[in-house]
Amino acid sequence: MTQKQAVDILVIGGSAAGLVGAMTAKSNHPEKSVMVIRKEEKVMIPCGIPYIFGSLGTSDYNILPDGGLESLKVEIKIGVVTTLDKTNKFVKTEAGEEISYEKLIIATGSQPFVPNWLVGAEKKGVYTIPKNKVYLDQLMEELNGKEHIIVVGAGFIGVEMSDELNKAGKKVTLIEIQERILGAAFDEDVAKDAEGKLTDRGVNILTGVGIKSIEGEESVTSVILSNGETLKVDAVILSMGYRPNVELAQAAGLKLNDFGFIDVDEYLRTSEEHIFAAGDCAGKRDFATNKLSRTMLASTACAEARVASLNLYNLSTFRSFKGTIGIYSTSIGETAYGVAGLTEGAAVKEGFNVICGSFTGMDRHPGKLAGAHSQTVKLIVSKDSGRIIGGEVIGGTSIGELINVIGFIVQGGLTLTDLLVAQIGTQPMLTASPAAYPLIKAAEIASRKMRA
Amino acid sequence: MTQKQAVDILVIGGSAAGLVGAMTAKSNHPEKSVMVIRKEEKVMIPCGIPYIFGSLGTSDYNILPDGGLESLKVEIKIGVVTTLDKTNKFVKTEAGEEISYEKLIIATGSQPFVPNWLVGAEKKGVYTIPKNKVYLDQLMEELNGKEHIIVVGAGFIGVEMSDELNKAGKKVTLIEIQERILGAAFDEDVAKDAEGKLTDRGVNILTGVGIKSIEGEESVTSVILSNGETLKVDAVILSMGYRPNVELAQAAGLKLNDFGFIDVDEYLRTSEEHIFAAGDCAGKRDFATNKLSRTMLASTACAEARVASLNLYNLSTFRSFKGTIGIYSTSIGETAYGVAGLTEGAAVKEGFNVICGSFTGMDRHPGKLAGAHSQTVKLIVSKDSGRIIGGEVIGGTSIGELINVIGFIVQGGLTLTDLLVAQIGTQPMLTASPAAYPLIKAAEIASRKMRA
């Protein structure tokens, strides 16, 4: 007999978007019943995953807590949704349950992408980095005793995995088909700095070289690179990007966009108005150009989930999701890197007349204070409109929030002039000096170029 | 014979506002001659001064560098301006020089305030904290061998001095007439936290108690408090606030405002249109209420100087200085505190209907990562307009930039809804988690209160 259950708001997926979607929905509609259905018993903090392998030492310290859901009395169900009937508003699970709903949020996330031209990816000793605790625990165990690891793909996950595995004592080679690591996120100058730091820490980096095939009988023993070289290895970690999980939505007849994500409007509504999608599975558009984007970020996912949940029963946030800005940061040793909005390269490619200003100072003042780190801010400005359209930073740990300052500047539509007259807070132990605050100095430099 | 010199742009004062004013003027008008005239051979970084006494160990590490001025070919003159003739556009110095100018920026700063009712302030062993290297070097030397020091006044300078002297091994008692240390800057809850941290570090704090008189023959031996108690001490440091240096401007016939600062408009022009004033000596108005304000901050000073310099010859920044927001931060040991805009107390006092939201999380995610610190954000929202009018934060060192995020939110006129849909950047080693980012969670809480 089919077990049947009815809830008001159903959220499929328990990672960042699912968690925030459910919590926001319940907080704002305490009278509604809310259920999260997810595959995993224990959910991984997505961006924390690389740190399991070095700094944390165990995935048990990287669990997204259920406390928030529990205290709000959101029901948590572990299960796999196999069918969505959007006309009759119910889903079916692998276990045969039927759950009907009033409003649905699809937050099914993404999974690692392995290109089908890659020969040998199925061999033992070849891994990806899914957001799956059971898989990751096994990966960690299997890496024990393996010495030389190749990481393929130098996006944020690849770079952080390389740094952490290196920290854990492994011999790591990071290979990247582009000319620079993190080259999709940062301009050349910033990416080069990151590359230098990672090399200094002992990671062997090969750029401009791809992987052709993975060799070995049952288990991997070597890889063949696109330049013909062979590298002996004990394990391969593929971090070649992620693809949205859209099978359920597609089978239900929801519209996908041209990039294969679930199509959504500015309120995160899908083609079926009572169904919302948020997070890695949901379509994104670039903040500057409104073009489709593939950006996947837990922080963006949370913002989308919040917007979706606030607009479930009535539109409460006017034209709320105006496009994905993409605010990224990472750290390599003591040095951290951040980017928000368009890089110079991307802005030029998109057709902006671009003016940039860049300034390097110290992140404490005086710079002699212990713990001071150099800090570079690069601002990317639309010459015609004067608007700040992006920024990149290199510095100490404080750049994690400094890039959010730039994020708000971009989101708020601030211009160079706004920055020239802006008030900031500074303190010797915490920030750069007020007279040489790199963000403002970069704006001054851009502004002089503008008038030249 | 009088030595005469003519420059295009003359800046009086060499601290934050003078430095930034001169550099901005010259950068934007490379064809003009620019001179800074200042009293000090070597200028102290103003906010770095407390750190001389502990973390830095010498004022030589706290010098505002002249490199920026020199590389721009701004002339630096050491001297004291005694007279300003605004009609004939020249100044006279103590050394008898006459310097004529086209445009003038007055950045004469402020000096420590000692109330005239305080008996015994002239005794040996009683000090203030002026921005004067010679004085500070002597103070540092004289403190050698002195054990018990009383610091009077628990604003930022008093608190930072107490913490640093304590760090340097002194026995420090900090007394404050208000009920809380930093009570003018922070709401009760935040101030109380700071008070606890400073006490834990070994500073003896007496609040709700003032100083009545300073006793001793030639040198201080004790102080009598407002409650009649006597405290034996070896030295007294008075940090009872600062007053603007306006004698020169006043004698020249420039208008002062009701608080005794040099009156300026939104372009930092004084009552004489070719003369500008910036920094501690220049009048300030509150960003929220437009009422006169006494806020003195090096960072605000720099913003004012930038605005003044950009508008010397033509108005280039429309209605640029819209009022002082007041973005402060400080740190006590591993914990840092920040505030931007109005506190809850100030907002209520000014007549706003106020809604607040407060959330505490961790500043890394997962919180098990080494170096993680708890992080609290409190947002102050105008209930009627939905606008964020202030914020307070407690956390690790990253709050130095997090308070700037809030500063831009206040300056940008963002509302609660803007925050609910805002995109932020998060990273395990650098920030709180995206699902529990205290700034956004605080906005959610305020927003629910708003609708309740």
Q: Tell me what ipTM this predicted complex has.
A: 0.94
Residue A6's H or E segment, with its range, is strand A4-6
A212 & A292 share domain: no
Tokens 């000014």, residue? B350
DSSP string across A253-288? TPPB-TTSSBP--TT-B-SSTTEEE-STTB-EEBTT
Q: Most A CBs within 10 Å: which of B61, B299, B409, as the mutation test of the A interface?
A: B299
B220 & B286 share domain: no
3-state secondary structure of A202: coil
Which pLDDT score is estimated for B399?
Answer: 97
Q: Most A CBs within 10 Å: which of B430, B439, B447, B449, as the mutation test of the A interface?
A: B430
Contact call for B421 and A317, based on CB within 8 A: yes
Question: Does residue B15 form part of some domain?
Answer: yes
pLDDT at A319 exceeding the cut of 70? no
**Cβ neighbours for B420, distance < 8 A, ≥ 6 positions apart:** A306, A307, A310, A317, B440, B443, B444, B447
Decide if A189 contacts A181 (C-beta within 8 A): no
pLDDT at B325 exceeding the cut of 80? yes
Which pLDDT score is estimated for B451?
Answer: 83
Residue of chain B nearest A58, judged by CA positions = B368
Tell me the C-alpha distance between A18 and A104, whole Å: 11
Contact call for A397 and B397, based on CB within 8 A: yes
Confidence band of B322 (pLDDT split at 50, 70, 90): confident
Of A16, A27, A300, the CB nearest to B448: A27
pLDDT at A1 exceeding the cut of 70? no
Decide if A56 contacts A147 (C-beta within 8 A): no
Question: Does residue A186 form part of some domain?
Answer: yes
Q: Among A194, A219, A240, identify where a domain stops.
A: A240
Contact call for B427 and A47, based on CB within 8 A: yes
CA end-to-end distance (rounded Å), chain B: 77
B220 & B251 share domain: no
3-state secondary structure of B284: strand
Query: Please, is B331 exposed, middle or buried when counting C-beta atoms within 10 Å of its C-beta (0-12, 13-18, 19+)?
Result: buried
Domain count within chain A: 3
pTM for the whole structure: 0.95
CA distance B258 to chain A (A): 24
Residue of chain A nearest B398, judged by CA positions = A398
How do residues B184-233 score in pLDDT, each as one tens digit?
Answer: 999 999 999 999 999 999 999 999 999 999 999 999 999 999 999 999 99
Domain of A251? 4-111+243-310
A288 & A339 share domain: no
Average pLDDT rounded to a whole number, residues B334-356:
97
The answer to whether A375 contacts chain B (CB < 8 Å) is: no
pLDDT at B320 exceeding the cut of 80? no
3-state secondary structure of B338: strand
Tell me the C-alpha distance between A171 and B432, whole Å: 31
| Lookup: tokens for B6 | 């003519």
**Cβ neighbours for B231, distance < 8 A, ≥ 6 positions apart:** B150, B173, B222, B223, B225
B218 & B249 share domain: no
Scan residues 258-277 of A and list those with Cβ closer than 8 Å to B: none
B270 & B415 share domain: no
Decide if B338 contacts B400 (C-beta within 8 A): yes
A286 contacts on B by Cβ (under 8 Å): none
Contact call for B430 and A320, based on CB within 8 A: no
Tell me the C-alpha distance between B298 and A434, whole Å: 6
3-state secondary structure of B211: strand
Confidence band of A320 (pLDDT split at 50, 70, 90): confident
| Lookup: tokens for B197 | 């941290």
Decide if A46 contacts A87 (C-beta within 8 A): no
Of A324, A421, A424, the CB nearest to B321: A421
Tell me the C-alpha distance between A388 and A443, whole Å: 9
CA end-to-end distance (rounded Å), chain A: 77
Question: Does residue A196 form part of some domain?
Answer: yes
The answer to whether B311 contacts chain A (CB < 8 Å) is: no
B40 & B56 share domain: yes
CA B368 vs CA A320, B144, B371, B374: distances in Å:
34, 42, 9, 11
A400 contacts on B by Cβ (under 8 Å): 398, 401, 425-427, 429-431
Average pLDDT rounded to a whole number, residues A149-161:
98
Residue of chain B nearest A299, judged by CA positions = B434
A347 & A419 share domain: yes
Q: What is the CATH number of the domain that holds A195?
A: 3.50.50.60
A421 & A341 share domain: yes
The answer to whether B320 contacts chain A (CB < 8 Å) is: yes
Tell me the C-alpha distance between B11 and B91, whole Å: 11
Which pLDDT score is estimated for A48?
Answer: 95
Residue of chain B nearest A440, judged by CA positions = B303
How do residues A232-250 score in pLDDT, each as one tens digit?
Answer: 999 999 999 999 999 999 9
Q: Most B CBs within 10 Å: which of A186, A423, A439, A448, as the mutation test of the B interface?
A: A423
Q: Among B240, B259, B279, identify where a domain stops.
A: B240
Which pLDDT score is estimated for B318?
Answer: 72
β-pair partners for B222? B215, B232
CA distance A415 to chain B (A): 11
How do residues B126-150 score in pLDDT, each as one tens digit?
Answer: 999 999 999 999 999 999 999 999 9
A106 & A252 share domain: yes
B135 & B106 share domain: no
Please give the DSSP secondary-structure letter assigned to residue B65. Answer: P
How do residues B44-54 score in pLDDT, each as one tens digit?
Answer: 999 999 999 99
Which pLDDT score is estimated for A194?
Answer: 97
Question: Does residue A321 form part of some domain?
Answer: no
Contact call for B400 and A431, based on CB within 8 A: yes
Contact call for A47 and B400, based on CB within 8 A: no
Decide if B397 contacts A397 (C-beta within 8 A): yes
Q: Of B319, B317, B308, B334, which Cα lies nearest the Cα of B399?
A: B334
Average pLDDT rounded to a whole number, residues A182-199:
96
Residue of chain B nearest A428, judged by CA positions = B48
pLDDT at B1 exceeding the cut of 70? no
Question: Does residue B75 form part of some domain?
Answer: yes
More confident residue, A394 or B321: A394
**Cβ neighbours for A360, distance < 8 A, ≥ 6 positions apart:** A374, A375, A376, A438
3-state secondary structure of B253: coil
CA distance A110 to chain B (A): 17
| Lookup: tokens for A446 | 């851009």
- ∠ at Cα B121 (B119, B124), nearest 5°? 130
Confidence band of B452 (pLDDT split at 50, 70, 90): confident
Average pLDDT rounded to a whole number, residues B93-119:
97
Q: Among A258, A285, A310, identify where a domain stops.
A: A310
Which pLDDT score is estimated for A442?
Answer: 98
Task: Express as a percent the part of chain A with pLDDT over 70.
Answer: 100
CA B156 vs CA A193, A393, B182, B237, B321: distances in Å:
37, 29, 7, 14, 25
Average pLDDT rounded to a whole number, residues A254-265:
98
Task: Express as a percent the part of chain B with pLDDT over 90.
Answer: 96
Within 10 A of B113 (CB to CB), how many other CB atoms are there? Answer: 14
Tell me the C-alpha distance between A312 and A27, whole Å: 13
B434 contacts on A by Cβ (under 8 Å): 16, 20, 47, 297-299, 301-302
B350 & B394 share domain: yes
Which pLDDT score is estimated for B319?
Answer: 66
Of A63, A327, A414, the CB nearest to B425: A327
Contact call for A404 and B401, based on CB within 8 A: yes
Q: Most A CBs within 10 Å: which of B60, B62, B401, B451, as the mutation test of the A interface?
A: B401
How do residues A343-388 score in pLDDT, each as one tens digit?
Answer: 999 999 999 999 999 999 999 999 999 999 999 999 999 999 999 9
Tokens 């947002």, residue? B379
Average pLDDT rounded to a whole number, residues B342-369:
96
Question: Does residue A319 form part of some domain?
Answer: no
DSSP string across A57-117? -SGGGSBPPSHHHHHHT-EEEE--EEEEETTTTEEEETTS-EEE-SEEEE---EEE---TT
Scan residues 21-50 of B and list those with Cβ closer than 8 Å to A: 24, 27-28, 45, 47-48
Question: Does residue B318 form part of some domain?
Answer: no
How do residues A49-84 score in pLDDT, each as one tens digit?
Answer: 999 999 999 999 999 999 999 999 999 999 999 999
Which pLDDT score is estimated for B65?
Answer: 94
Report phi then psi at A60, rounded to 5. -65, -20
Report phi then psi at B231, rounded to 5. -120, 125
Q: What is the CATH number of the domain that holds A394?
A: 3.30.390.30
